[in-house]
């Protein structure tokens, strides 16, 4: 099992600390760093900054929001990052949701799965160095409809990359199925290993439908790593972020995190948390998050407890675990990450 880390979707104010964190994580053997975008920083610029400060750690977008860039710009950005990092870039894509796509970017959130498929098909053609033509529901290249008619089918001006793996962040069954069909990896969230089949079975079915094996994909999920003797305190603290995800990260009609937890046996609880959050009763919403939802989505406790939980992810089929080490400062986070990497080494020789 590989270990990855990520930068959050919020504002970054201390870039020196971020670079130190990533450089030290690289020394510890972390496989990949993933950046995020919501409505603070973009997902790409931090990777360009960190590519210049690192040598081995892979660098990925988790996620680059679909619809906010043309497919050609997605491919051009990926090729530039892959070139400047000497082949370390991973392209993670996702549809986000209507609150961000329509509210922040002013772009219709329509048929996200179909749009994802078209973007990836176009990006792959560019990666292959093809002269670009495409006819789809969303994209027409060259553009002839409501256009000057002067567009030209072009070949990419940069050399094709040797290998840029494409990951999809997906949660719903149809999106998971498509991930198995066309992606090189899965970026999973809201994942409890006891219910792994709800996520992994559709990916496997999608892969098999096109003659692939699920072993062809890197399956990634993870959570907070919190070494503590006071599990109850940690759970209470982590409820706040989980309540925000299932209560605020989406509308009443579209909250993919909420839907994922409903499918994993928390239908009533997820519905209550969302209702309370949208009504402005945030403290009550946090209190309604079940302890089992928090403990199932994260690795909390002493070394033995965290070791056992990590084994469950491994045995469920997760091939990359994204670790968010808990700590009150950089040194504490790095210490937690180092302890976790020791556990990973211990179980890496075990048979699942």
Per-residue pLDDT, 349: 87
Helix (H) or strand (E) holding 179: helix 173-182
Q: How confident is the model at residue 44 (pLDDT cuts 50, 70, 90)?
A: very high
Q: Count structural domains, the chain.
A: 2
Are 237 and 320 in the same domain? no
Q: Around Cβ 155, how many Cβ atoms within 10 Å?
A: 10
Are 122 and 259 in the same domain? no
Q: What is the mean pLDDT of residues 286-296?
A: 98
Are 207 and 342 in the same domain? yes
Are 193 and 317 in the same domain? yes
- In this model, does residue 182 exceed pLDDT 90? yes
Are 276 and 195 in the same domain? no
Q: What is the mean pLDDT of residues 166-189?
A: 98
- In this model, does residue 234 exceed pLDDT 90? yes
What range defines the domain where residue 235 resides? 229-298
**List of E strands, the chain:** 2-6, 32-35, 58-61, 64-65, 89-94, 134-135, 140-141, 166-169, 185-187, 218-227, 299-301, 320-325
Per-residue pLDDT, 240: 97
Per-residue pLDDT, 306: 98
Q: How confident is the model at residue 351 (pLDDT cuts 50, 70, 90)?
A: confident
Q: What is the mean pLDDT of residues 76-83?
A: 98
- In this model, does residue 139 exceed pLDDT 70? yes
Are 240 and 183 in the same domain? no
Q: How confident is the model at residue 352 (pLDDT cuts 50, 70, 90)?
A: low
Q: What is the mean pLDDT of residues 286-314?
A: 98
Per-residue pLDDT, 251: 85
End-of-domain residue from the set 298, 319, 340: 298
Q: What is the mean pLDDT of residues 80-99?
A: 97
Are 18 and 60 in the same domain? yes
Are 324 and 188 in the same domain? yes
Are 150 and 190 in the same domain? yes
- Beta carbons of 73 and 45 less than 8 angstroms apart: no
- Could you tell me which of 112, 68, 66, 128 has the C-alpha nearest to residue 91? 66
What is residue 86's DSSP assignment?
T
- In this model, does residue 130 exceed pLDDT 80? yes
Q: Which CATH number belongs to the domain containing residue 200 in this structure?
A: 3.20.20.30
Per-residue pLDDT, 224: 98
Q: What is the mean pLDDT of residues 50-77?
A: 97
Q: What is the mean pLDDT of residues 123-146?
A: 97
Rounded distance between C-alpha atoms, residue 154 and residue 136, angstroms: 17
Backbone angles phi, psi at 242, to 5 degrees: -70, -40
* Percentage above 90 pLDDT, the chain: 96
Q: pTM for the full model?
A: 0.97
Are 173 and 287 in the same domain? no
Are 49 and 128 in the same domain? yes
- Beta carbons of 43 and 9 less than 8 angstroms apart: no
Backbone angles phi, psi at 334, to 5 degrees: -70, -35
Are 176 and 318 in the same domain? yes
Q: What is the mean pLDDT of residues 287-302?
A: 98
45 CB burial (10 A radius; 0-12, 13-18, 19+): exposed
For the chain, the average pLDDT equals 97
């Amino acid at each position: 099992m590989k270990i990855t880390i990520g930068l959050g979707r919020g504002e970054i104010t201390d870039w020196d600390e971020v670079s130190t964190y990533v450089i030290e994580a690289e020394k510890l053997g972390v496989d990949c760093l993933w950046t995020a975008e919501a409505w603070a920083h973009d997902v790409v610029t931090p990777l360009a900054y960190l590519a210049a400060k690192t040598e081995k750690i892979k660098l990925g977008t988790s996620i680059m929001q679909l619809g906010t860039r043309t497919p050609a710009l997605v491919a051009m950005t990926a090729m530039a990052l892959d070139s400047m990092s000497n082949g370390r870039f991973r392209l993670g894509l996702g549809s986000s949701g209507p609150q961000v796509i329509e509210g922040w970017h002013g772009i219709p959130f329509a048929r996200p799965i179909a749009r994802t498929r078209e973007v990836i098909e176009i990006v792959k053609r560019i990666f292959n160095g093809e002269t670009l033509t495409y006819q789809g529901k969303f994209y027409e290249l060259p553009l002839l409809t409501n256009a000057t008619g002067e567009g030209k089918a072009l070949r990419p001006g940069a050399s094709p990359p040797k290998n840029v793996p494409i990951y999809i962040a997906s949660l719903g069954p149809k999106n998971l199925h498509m991930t198995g069909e066309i992606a090189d990896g899965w970026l999973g969230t809201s994942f409890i290993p006891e219910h792994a089949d709800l996520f992994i079975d559709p990916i496997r079915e999608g892969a098999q439908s096109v003659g692939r094996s699920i072993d062809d994909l890197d399956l990634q999920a993870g959570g907070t790593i919190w070494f503590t003797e006071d599990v109850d305190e940690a759970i209470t603290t982590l409820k706040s972020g989980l309540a925000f995800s299932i209560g605020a990260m989406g509308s009443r009609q579209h909250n993919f995190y909420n839907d994922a937890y409903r499918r994993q046996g928390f239908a009533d609880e997820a519905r209550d948390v969302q209702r309370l959050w949208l009504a402005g009763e945030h403290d009550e919403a946090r209190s309604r998050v079940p302890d089992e939802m928090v403990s199932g989505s994260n690795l909390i406790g002493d070394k033995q407890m965290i070791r056992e939980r990590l084994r469950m992810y491994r045995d469920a089929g997760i091939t990359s675990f994204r670790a968010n080490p808990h700590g009150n400062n950089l040194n504490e986070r790095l210490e937690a990450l180092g302890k976790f990497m020791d556990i990973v080494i211990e179980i890496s020789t075990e048979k699942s």
